[in-house]
Structure 1
Amino acid sequence: MSSSNPQIINSDCIVIGGNITGLIIATILQRRGIKVTLLDQCRDIGGRLATRRISQEKSIEGVFDSGIQYLSVKNPQFQVWVDDWLKHKVIKEWCQGFGEVDGKPRYCGINGMSEIAKYLAKNLDVHTSTKIIEFSYEKKWLIGTQSERQYQGDMLAMTSPIPESLSLLDASFIPLPLEIRFSLEQIEYDSCIVVLALLEKPSNIPAPGGISLEDDSLVWLADNHQKGISPDGYAITLLATPKFSDYYWDSDDVEIVYKLVTAAADYLDSPVIKYQVHRWRYSSPKTFYNESCLGLLELPLVMAGDAFVDPTLEGSVMSGMAAGELICQRFRVY
């Protein structure tokens, strides 16, 4: 990895992946006084904490959560983060169950789930639209990107989907212990096609605006207007099943929209006036690593993410917390 005039940015730890896990790791490290740089290849921070907008006219704008739809809490350690987000009006309670009330709050972002990512990222050293080509390790990590800029750090944390992380390690000729490599290769993900549909009039989706379906093509419908994040547009999020998503992954958007809107017709009961299609290749892990994060002894490398705990937002946060604590221990910061 060489460059005629490389611009090298130094930090104690480099985090690859601006998803919720990467943001949690970076937040923990910064709070402990460890200099951290977070890199993400996408334009927007947050990974599947994604909120999109579709405008039709000046007065009509649909706001859609296109990835993670909501969060709930089981672990007291996660509750600490949620309480902070509530205190700072990042999230709000959406409901206490879909279909039947169970008394357990479901939370969503005040203006969409991306609010959580924006809140966590606001005081961090975040570099988006940063495509990593390869990296090397010789006493320090050196990260090479498509631009002239390079990043150097003592430790590296990888939070991207496991297949992406393994591809990057392979491209960089960084070997993993065989047993660990084999375990990571067993992790598989479901894909998910998402249709964002802006309707002419209100939907028929029952209150509070979210419904799980046992359908061949649809697994979830959300009415973002009822949810409270899309006041100026009847914005519906349609999540396809893994089976449908795999089969139609390379299909034309028009065909996908026709099939999913037709499947949801009884719940929509309105013409679609505008739409977008999004594809999540690594939407949700089907299999998992047997620890909350992976810390290598041979290299100052940590891996974390939703494939280490469970596929929920809470699982991603818990993995990030475990990885953050492990990195702090390596720096002897307690």
Structure 2
Amino acid sequence: MQNTVAKVAVVGSGISGSVCAATLARNGISVTLFDSARGPGGRMSQRREISEDGRELLFDHGAPYFTVTNPDVLSVVTEWESRGLVAEWKSNFRSFDCFTNKFVNTEHQERESKKYVGVPGMNSICKALCHEPGVDSKFNMGIGKFEWLEHENLWSLIGLDGQHLGHFKGVVASDKNIASPRFTAITGQPPPLDLSLAPELVKLHDIPIYPCFALMLAFNEPLSLVPAKGLSFTNSKVLSRAHCESSKPGRSSTSERWVLHSTTEYAKDVIGQSGLEKPSKETLSKVGNEMLQEFLSTGLSIPQPFFMKAHRWGSAFPATSIAKEEKCVWSEKKKLAICGDFCLSPNVEGAILSGLAAASKLKGLISTL
């Protein structure tokens, strides 16, 4: 790939950025992928924890699974399935009413779409895509500034530490906060991308989001009185859903592991009191206890877990879609694409479609790159 002229930077290794990077690489475009995290995945990440007695515990603490309705996405997912990167999760799912403490039977449950999970973790898909031939992935490397060099018609990327990371003929970014005041509220630094660089970027200004807390739990025994491996909650101010991690394909079943997700309203209340900065151990402990108590109060004879840890997704879900027709934000003049679930729909399928759209925009310019 050393002699390849085309060179694109993809910022963000969530499912949208990973799909885009791999698609570009398969079409002969050299890609350098940057992410501030230790590894790929974004909300498709898998969390590794060690219990007090030394047991390894793995949790998909972001997206628990995804469904597919779009034929283009189905084609991609079918290929992943053939490579052993995804599998169908066939466990039963039910809705639980926290007011009556009873399960609610809904007619549409039997007709629900297939639920897919990454194997052996949700991040397995992004891991594979980030290591496709032609993709040079660099982790623990956050972007502090996207600088447009007008005379050279190139992008210069600067790291959060001020380090120059290279020149690129095209850039793809998959972070909804890349040009948002929220970036400053969280990091204390100005947003990496200047909205004035292209008129199309105005859509990125302060995209509204829904936050969420996730609670990772591990039990010594199966929750035998819970007749489903996936739950959605109604009439709860604290919990929105729960999933049994250890029931997924390819997972260890040495302990029963669950992930609970909070309601948006609960997360907003907590953040309103604690602020946007990284939550303290005390805040996360309080959140964990409150979410666990709501789970225990269902009357399903749930035992005390031997492991419990909460995590905050401060920008979990976009509250709006900013590019439904285009599927990504695109500046042809600057060869800059912005992709992610916030462009199309707030789910994994929307993120995949947006990543494919961003790659298509740059693929169309391959002769000029």
- Amino acid in the other structure paired with 2:210: D
Mapping of 1:131-210 within 5 angstroms? Answer: 131-138=142-149, 139-145=153-159, 146=161, 148-161=163-176, 163-166=177-180, 170-171=191-192, 173=194, 175-177=196-198, 180-185=200-205, 187-204=207-224, 206-210=226-230
SS at match of 1:62: strand
Spell out, residue by residue over 1:72-124, the C-alpha distance to the aligned partner (whole angstroms, 9 max, x if none).
11011101111111111111111276233226311112222111111212222
TM-score by length of 2: 0.80
Cα distance, 1:165 vs. partner? 3.6
The number of aligned residues is: 322
| 1:218 matched residue in structure 2 | 239
Cα root mean square deviation, aligned: 2.4
Cα distance, 1:51 vs. partner? 1.1
- Amino acid in the other structure paired with 2:288: V
Mapping of 1:202-281 within 5 angstroms? Answer: 202-204=222-224, 206-214=226-234, 215-228=236-249, 229-249=251-271, 250=274, 252-265=283-296, 266=298, 267=300, 269-281=302-314
TM-score by length of 1: 0.88
Moved more, 206-215 or 120-129: 206-215
User: Partners of 2:77 and 2:301 in 1: how far apart?
Assistant: 32
- Amino acid in the other structure paired with 2:73: F
The percentage of aligned residue pairs carrying the same residue is: 23
Cα distance, 1:63 vs. partner? 2.1
| 2:26 matched residue in structure 1 | 31
Cα distance, 1:231 vs. partner? 1.3
SS at match of 2:293: helix
Q: Which residue of 318, 323, 328 maps to 2:358?
A: 323
User: Partners of 2:128 and 2:147 in 1: how far apart?
Assistant: 32
User: Partners of 2:293 and 2:53 in 1: how far apart?
Assistant: 28
Maintained 8 Å contact 1:140/1:155: yes
Spell out, residue by residue over 1:243-289, the C-alpha distance to the aligned partner (whole angstroms, 9 max, x if none).
11111233612211111000011357111212222111111111111
Spell out, residue by residue over 1:124-145, the C-alpha distance to the aligned partner (whole angstroms, 9 max, x if none).
2110100212131112111111
| 2:106 matched residue in structure 1 | none
Instruction: Point out where structure 2 has 5 or more consecutive residues left out of the alignment.
Output: 95-108, 184-189, 275-281
Cα distance, 1:185 vs. partner? 2.6
Spell out, residue by residue over 1:221-245, the C-alpha distance to the aligned partner (whole angstroms, 9 max, x if none).
0111223424122111010111111
Maintained 8 Å contact 1:192/1:239: yes
Q: Which residue of 9, 12, 16 maps to 1:17?
A: 12
